[in-house]
């Protein structure tokens, strides 16, 4: 049996996934000391739940071409970190240049991501 998503459900889903993605970006953007101290920093890796459904936010009009490009670049950096042996130790988070590059890219994304874009202009 096929289910058809209502416009209200689609909007709710878009908001949930936007919030997951934005929170993930914010956690990647944290400075290294805060990342290793934050017991919930693993939440930044909810990226895999939010990024693949970015199309929902795009359809809602919340993702500019610039933001899309920056999120794609951040995704590439996170892939590189995932593939790098030892990149997930506290020492690597503090010292690995790839982590600093990911933090910088995440900050660039974050400034383009309002907390609740569905409220912008209302």
Question: pLDDT for 7-52, tens place per residue?
Answer: 888 889 999 999 999 999 999 999 999 988 887 766 566 888 889 9
Q: Which pLDDT does position 97 carry in this prediction?
A: 96
Q: Are 49 and 20 in contact (CB under 8 A)?
A: yes
Show the tokens assigned to 86.
Answer: 């030892």
Please report which confidence band the pLDDT of residue 85 belongs to, taking 50, 70 and 90 as the band edges.
confident
Which tokens in the block code for residue 87?
A: 């990149």
Tokens of residue 115, six digits:
């907390």
Determine the pLDDT at residue 10.
86
Q: What angle do CA 108, 29, 53 make, to 5 degrees?
A: 75
Residue 105, pLDDT above cutoff 70: yes
Q: In sequence order, what are the residues at sequence separation of 6 or more whose Cβ sits closer than 8 angstroms to the Cβ of residue 61?
A: 117
């Amino acid at each position: 049996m096929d289910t058809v998503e209502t416009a209200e459900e689609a909007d709710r889903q878009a908001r949930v996934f936007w919030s997951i993605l934005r929170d993930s970006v914010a956690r990647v953007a944290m400075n290294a000391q805060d990342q290793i101290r934050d017991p919930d920093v693993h939440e930044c890796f909810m990226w895999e739940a939010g990024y693949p459904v970015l199309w929902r936010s795009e359809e809602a009009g919340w993702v500019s071409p610039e933001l899309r490009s920056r999120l794609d670049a951040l995704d590439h950096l996170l892939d590189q970190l995932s593939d790098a042996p030892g990149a997930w130790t506290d020492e690597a988070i503090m010292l690995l240049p790839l982590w600093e590059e990911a933090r910088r890219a995440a900050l660039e994304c974050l400034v383009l991501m309002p907390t609740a874009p569905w409220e912008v202009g209302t």
